[in-house]
Chain A
Amino acid sequence: VSRDPTRFALPARLLHWLMAALILAMLLIGAGMISTTTARYPELLAWHRPIGLAILILALIRLAVRVTHRPPPLPTDLPALQVAAAKGSHILLYAMMIAMPLIGWAMQSAGGYPITLRKGVVLFPILPHMITVYGMLRVVHGLLAYAFFLLILGHLGAALFHALIRRDGVFESMAK
Chain B
Amino acid sequence: MPAPIKVIPRLALIAAILGVVALIFTYVGGWVSPRRISGGAVADVLQAANGKVYPGFRRAHAKGLCVSGRFDANGAGVALSRAALFPTGSTPVIGRASTGGGNPLATDGRNVFHALGLRFALPHGEEWRMAIDHTPIFIVSNPTDFVGLQQVSIPDPKSGKPDPARLTAFVGSHPETKAFLDYMKTAPLPSSFANGTYYSINAFRFVDAAGTSRFVRWQFEPEAPFAALDKATLDTLPENFLFDELLDRVKAGPIRWHMILVVANPGDRTDNATVRWTGPHRQIDAGTLVLDRATTEAAGNCRDYNYDPLVLPKGVAASDDPLLPARSAVYSASFRRRAAEGPKPDAISLERQKGDRM
Contacts and interface: CB of A to CB of B under 8 A. Distances in A.
Interface string A18-60: 0000000001100110111111111000000000000000000
A165 B13 CA distance: 11
B329 A122 contact: no
A11 interface: no
Interface string B1-16: 1100001001101100
B25 A37 contact: no
Contacts of A82: none
A73 interface: no
A106 B165 CA distance: 48
Interface in B10-54: 10-11, 13-14, 17-18, 21-22, 24-25, 28-30, 33, 36-40, 42
Given A39-B318, A112-B304, A153 B21 contact: yes
Given A114-B126, A149-B25, A167-B2, A134 B339 contact: yes
Contact of B28 (A32, A122, A131): A32
A164 B10 contact: yes
Interface stretch (A62-70, A86-94, A97-105, A154-162): A154-162
A41 B39 contact: yes
Contact of B127 (A114, A130, A136): A114
B311 interface: yes
Interface string B296-339: 00000001111000111110011010100110111000011011
Contacts of B185: none
Nearest to B323: A37
Interface residues of A, number: 43
Contacts of A34: 29, 38-40, 329
A8 to B, nearest CB: 22
Contact of B329 (A37, A120, A153, A166): A37
A31 B25 contact: yes
A32 B18 contact: no
B355 interface: no
Interface in A69-127: 111-116, 119-120, 122-124
B143 interface: yes
B18 A124 contact: no
B40 A111 contact: no
B143 A114 contact: no
Contact of A35 (B13, B28, B326, B339): B28
B38 A35 contact: yes
Contacts of A134: 335, 339
B335 to A, nearest CB: 7
23 contacts: A27-B25, A28-B24, A32-B28, A34-B38, A35-B29, A35-B38, A36-B36, A37-B330, A41-B326, A42-B318, A113-B311, A119-B312, A122-B124, A122-B127, A124-B125, A131-B338, A131-B339, A135-B336, A135-B341, A135-B342, A139-B340, A157-B18, A165-B10
Interface of A: 27-28, 31-32, 34-42, 111-116, 119-120, 122-124, 129-132, 134-136, 138-139, 149, 153, 156-157, 160-161, 164-167
Given A34-B39, A138-B339, A165-B7, 12 more contacts: A32-B30, A35-B33, A36-B38, A37-B39, A37-B325, A37-B330, A39-B325, A42-B325, A120-B313, A129-B304, A153-B18, A160-B13
